[in-house]
Amino acid sequence: MGWGNTCCALEGFSINLPGEDSDGAAPCVAGAASEDKEARMAHLLVEQLRFARSELVRCLAGVTDAEARRRFEPMNSISWIVGHLANQENAYWVLIAQGRQVEPGLYELVGYGKPPSTPPLDEMWAAWRAVTGAADAYLETLTPATLQTHLEWKGQPRPESVGTMLLRNIYHYWFHIGEAHAIRQMLGHTDLPEFVGDMSGAAYRPEG
Protein backbone atom coordinates (compact mmCIF):
# COMPACT_ATOMS: atom_id res chain seq x y z
CA MET A 1 0.00 0.00 0.00
CA GLY A 2 1.13 3.56 -0.59
CA TRP A 3 1.51 6.62 1.56
CA GLY A 4 -2.21 7.29 1.36
CA ASN A 5 -3.12 4.21 3.41
CA THR A 6 -5.30 5.24 6.34
CA CYS A 7 -3.76 2.80 8.82
CA CYS A 8 -0.06 3.50 8.31
CA ALA A 9 -1.29 5.19 9.90
CA LEU A 10 4.57 19.72 22.95
CA GLU A 11 3.80 22.40 24.21
CA GLY A 12 3.54 21.46 27.89
CA PHE A 13 5.38 18.15 27.41
CA SER A 14 9.11 17.61 27.89
CA ILE A 15 9.97 14.24 26.38
CA ASN A 16 13.21 12.46 27.17
CA LEU A 17 13.76 9.42 25.02
CA PRO A 18 15.11 6.22 26.53
CA GLY A 19 18.84 6.55 27.11
CA GLU A 20 18.81 10.36 27.00
CA ASP A 21 19.57 12.73 29.83
CA SER A 22 17.55 15.79 30.71
CA ASP A 23 19.13 17.71 27.82
CA GLY A 24 17.94 15.20 25.23
CA ALA A 25 14.35 16.33 24.79
CA ALA A 26 12.60 15.36 21.59
CA PRO A 27 12.39 18.13 18.99
CA CYS A 28 8.62 18.37 19.18
CA VAL A 29 8.89 20.17 22.51
CA ALA A 30 8.34 23.91 22.22
CA GLY A 31 10.44 26.22 24.36
CA ALA A 32 7.79 28.91 24.81
CA ALA A 33 8.05 31.51 27.52
CA SER A 34 5.25 31.09 30.04
CA GLU A 35 3.83 34.57 29.48
CA ASP A 36 2.96 33.96 25.83
CA LYS A 37 2.23 30.23 25.96
CA GLU A 38 -1.56 30.67 25.88
CA ALA A 39 -1.40 32.96 22.86
CA ARG A 40 0.60 30.40 20.89
CA MET A 41 -1.05 27.22 22.21
CA ALA A 42 -1.71 24.61 19.55
CA HIS A 43 -5.18 23.26 18.81
CA LEU A 44 -6.53 20.91 21.48
CA LEU A 45 -6.28 17.87 19.18
CA VAL A 46 -2.63 18.66 18.48
CA GLU A 47 -2.06 18.81 22.23
CA GLN A 48 -3.67 15.37 22.51
CA LEU A 49 -1.38 13.98 19.81
CA ARG A 50 1.60 15.33 21.71
CA PHE A 51 0.30 13.69 24.87
CA ALA A 52 0.02 10.37 23.02
CA ARG A 53 3.61 10.81 21.85
CA SER A 54 4.74 11.40 25.42
CA GLU A 55 2.91 8.27 26.58
CA LEU A 56 4.69 6.20 23.91
CA VAL A 57 8.01 7.40 25.27
CA ARG A 58 6.92 6.70 28.85
CA CYS A 59 5.73 3.23 27.86
CA LEU A 60 9.09 2.32 26.33
CA ALA A 61 11.46 3.86 28.88
CA GLY A 62 14.20 1.39 29.74
CA VAL A 63 13.65 -0.98 26.79
CA THR A 64 16.97 -2.18 25.38
CA ASP A 65 17.79 -2.59 21.70
CA ALA A 66 17.81 -6.39 22.01
CA GLU A 67 14.39 -6.35 23.68
CA ALA A 68 12.98 -3.89 21.17
CA ARG A 69 14.08 -6.10 18.26
CA ARG A 70 12.62 -9.30 19.68
CA ARG A 71 9.46 -10.40 17.89
CA PHE A 72 6.62 -12.45 19.36
CA GLU A 73 4.84 -13.56 16.20
CA PRO A 74 2.46 -12.57 14.79
CA MET A 75 3.03 -9.22 16.53
CA ASN A 76 5.69 -6.85 15.32
CA SER A 77 8.70 -5.76 17.36
CA ILE A 78 8.80 -2.69 19.58
CA SER A 79 11.39 -1.02 17.34
CA TRP A 80 9.06 -1.59 14.39
CA ILE A 81 6.24 0.09 16.34
CA VAL A 82 8.32 3.23 16.95
CA GLY A 83 9.24 3.46 13.27
CA HIS A 84 5.71 2.63 12.16
CA LEU A 85 4.22 5.49 14.15
CA ALA A 86 6.86 7.82 12.74
CA ASN A 87 5.93 6.59 9.27
CA GLN A 88 2.29 7.62 9.68
CA GLU A 89 3.19 11.11 10.89
CA ASN A 90 5.70 11.38 8.03
CA ALA A 91 3.03 10.43 5.52
CA TYR A 92 0.29 12.67 6.90
CA TRP A 93 1.97 15.80 8.20
CA VAL A 94 5.25 15.98 6.27
CA LEU A 95 4.79 14.37 2.84
CA ILE A 96 1.09 15.03 2.15
CA ALA A 97 0.65 18.23 4.16
CA GLN A 98 3.98 19.90 3.34
CA GLY A 99 5.13 18.16 0.18
CA ARG A 100 8.49 17.22 1.65
CA GLN A 101 10.19 14.15 3.03
CA VAL A 102 12.58 13.71 5.95
CA GLU A 103 12.76 9.90 6.30
CA PRO A 104 12.20 8.47 2.80
CA GLY A 105 13.06 4.87 3.73
CA LEU A 106 10.54 4.46 6.53
CA TYR A 107 7.62 3.17 4.51
CA GLU A 108 9.56 0.31 2.93
CA LEU A 109 10.96 -0.67 6.33
CA VAL A 110 7.96 -0.29 8.65
CA GLY A 111 4.96 0.59 6.48
CA TYR A 112 1.58 -1.11 6.75
CA GLY A 113 1.53 -4.33 4.75
CA LYS A 114 5.30 -4.51 4.35
CA PRO A 115 7.29 -7.60 5.45
CA PRO A 116 8.03 -7.71 9.19
CA SER A 117 11.29 -6.10 10.26
CA THR A 118 13.27 -5.61 13.47
CA PRO A 119 15.23 -2.37 12.90
CA PRO A 120 17.69 -0.95 15.46
CA LEU A 121 15.82 0.90 18.19
CA ASP A 122 18.10 3.96 18.20
CA GLU A 123 17.57 4.42 14.46
CA MET A 124 13.81 4.32 14.88
CA TRP A 125 13.87 6.82 17.74
CA ALA A 126 16.08 9.11 15.63
CA ALA A 127 13.62 8.86 12.74
CA TRP A 128 10.71 9.49 15.11
CA ARG A 129 12.37 12.61 16.49
CA ALA A 130 13.10 13.96 13.00
CA VAL A 131 9.59 13.25 11.76
CA THR A 132 7.68 14.62 14.75
CA GLY A 133 9.78 17.77 14.68
CA ALA A 134 9.01 18.28 10.99
CA ALA A 135 5.34 17.41 11.51
CA ASP A 136 4.95 20.08 14.17
CA ALA A 137 5.78 22.78 11.63
CA TYR A 138 2.43 21.97 10.03
CA LEU A 139 0.47 20.93 13.12
CA GLU A 140 1.17 24.27 14.81
CA THR A 141 -0.79 26.02 12.04
CA LEU A 142 -4.03 24.06 12.47
CA THR A 143 -7.24 25.88 13.40
CA PRO A 144 -10.85 24.69 13.79
CA ALA A 145 -11.44 25.87 10.22
CA THR A 146 -8.50 24.03 8.65
CA LEU A 147 -9.38 20.85 10.51
CA GLN A 148 -12.52 20.70 8.37
CA THR A 149 -10.58 20.89 5.11
CA HIS A 150 -9.13 18.01 3.07
CA LEU A 151 -5.49 17.68 2.09
CA GLU A 152 -4.69 16.69 -1.48
CA TRP A 153 -2.50 13.79 -2.58
CA LYS A 154 -1.57 13.21 -6.23
CA GLY A 155 -4.15 15.75 -7.33
CA GLN A 156 -7.03 14.21 -5.39
CA PRO A 157 -8.52 15.28 -2.04
CA ARG A 158 -8.01 12.89 0.82
CA PRO A 159 -11.22 11.05 1.81
CA GLU A 160 -10.86 12.12 5.44
CA SER A 161 -10.67 15.70 6.68
CA VAL A 162 -7.55 16.99 8.40
CA GLY A 163 -9.36 16.72 11.72
CA THR A 164 -10.30 13.08 11.12
CA MET A 165 -6.74 12.30 10.02
CA LEU A 166 -5.52 13.82 13.26
CA LEU A 167 -7.94 11.71 15.28
CA ARG A 168 -6.81 8.61 13.38
CA ASN A 169 -3.19 9.49 14.18
CA ILE A 170 -3.96 9.86 17.90
CA TYR A 171 -5.88 6.58 18.06
CA HIS A 172 -3.10 4.85 16.13
CA TYR A 173 -0.67 5.81 18.88
CA TRP A 174 -2.90 4.39 21.58
CA PHE A 175 -3.44 1.16 19.63
CA HIS A 176 0.30 0.54 19.45
CA ILE A 177 1.02 1.80 22.97
CA GLY A 178 -1.21 -0.99 24.24
CA GLU A 179 0.51 -3.48 21.96
CA ALA A 180 3.95 -2.37 23.12
CA HIS A 181 2.85 -2.65 26.73
CA ALA A 182 1.74 -6.23 26.10
CA ILE A 183 5.08 -7.03 24.46
CA ARG A 184 6.89 -5.72 27.52
CA GLN A 185 4.82 -8.03 29.69
CA MET A 186 5.79 -10.94 27.44
CA LEU A 187 9.43 -9.91 27.85
CA GLY A 188 8.98 -10.38 31.59
CA HIS A 189 9.17 -6.72 32.53
CA THR A 190 7.63 -5.76 35.87
CA ASP A 191 6.67 -2.45 37.45
CA LEU A 192 5.49 -1.17 34.08
CA PRO A 193 3.97 2.30 33.66
CA GLU A 194 0.28 2.62 34.41
CA PHE A 195 -1.93 4.18 31.75
CA VAL A 196 -3.19 6.77 31.18
CA GLY A 197 -0.57 9.03 32.78
CA ASP A 198 -0.60 12.56 34.15
CA MET A 199 -2.87 14.68 31.95
CA SER A 200 -2.25 18.01 33.68
CA GLY A 201 -0.54 19.25 30.52
CA ALA A 202 -3.28 17.91 28.23
CA ALA A 203 -6.43 18.71 30.15
CA TYR A 204 -9.58 19.58 28.24
CA ARG A 205 -9.99 23.23 27.28
CA PRO A 206 -12.61 24.86 25.05
CA GLU A 207 -11.69 25.63 21.47
CA GLY A 208 -11.23 29.24 20.57
Per-residue pLDDT of the chain (208 residues; tens, 9 = 90+): 333 333 343 333 333 444 443 333 333 333 333 334 444 678 899 999 999 999 999 999 999 999 999 999 999 999 999 999 999 999 999 999 999 989 888 999 999 989 999 999 999 999 999 999 999 999 999 999 999 999 999 999 999 999 999 999 999 999 999 999 999 999 999 888 887 888 887 788 777 6
The vertex-177 CA angle with 150 and 6, nearest 5°, equals 25
- Cα gap 46→204, rounded to integer Å: 12
6 within domain boundaries:
no
8 within domain boundaries:
no
Residue 157 bridge partners (DSSP): 152
66 within domain boundaries:
yes
Q: CB pairs under 8 A, 24+ apart, for 162-165?
A: 162/97, 163/45, 165/9, 165/92
194 within domain boundaries:
no
57 within domain boundaries:
yes
Domain hosting residue 74, numbered range: 34-186
26 within domain boundaries:
no
197 within domain boundaries:
no
**32 φ/ψ angles, rounded to the nearest 5 degrees:** -75, 145
130 within domain boundaries:
yes
Residue 41: give its domain's CATH number.
1.20.120.450
Structural domain total, the chain: 1
Q: Name which of 169, 171, 173, 112 is nearest 142 in CA terms.
A: 169
